[in-house]
Amino acid sequence: MDSKTTETKYGMVLKGKDGDSGLTKLDLAELLEKLSGDQVYPIEIEAKNFECSAMGFIDKWAASELDFDYQDSGLRDFISLILETNQTKNVYQFKGIDIWFEK
């Protein structure tokens, strides 16, 4: 069996970026490969106290689970906290949504 068919897929995929850095074409390819849905929305969440952000994609199912409201759902605070701490893991879960996040 091909290893790509057994790879875990996520409802949200993010990469941490410093300052005004953006995603590269390689970043895009890596993120989209990990995403579970076929229809996706771009997402960027800035840290509250540092000049960095998390950039990536959220699939339609995950976005609708949060009513497309990333502020009041608590997602922005959750991701901002990860950006501002020394956490080194790549997989998180928020309200039933599996998140892959590379800092």
Mean pLDDT of 12-34: 92
pLDDT at 3: 45
Domain-by-domain residue ranges, the chain? Answer: 3-102
Q: How confident is the model at residue 6 (pLDDT cuts 50, 70, 90)?
A: low
pTM of this structure = 0.87
Beta strands in 1-103 (DSSP E): 12-18, 40-46, 52-59, 91-94, 97-102
Percent of the chain residues topping a pLDDT of 90? 72
**Residue (of 82, 75, 15) closest to 49 by Cα position:** 82
pLDDT of 4 above 70? no
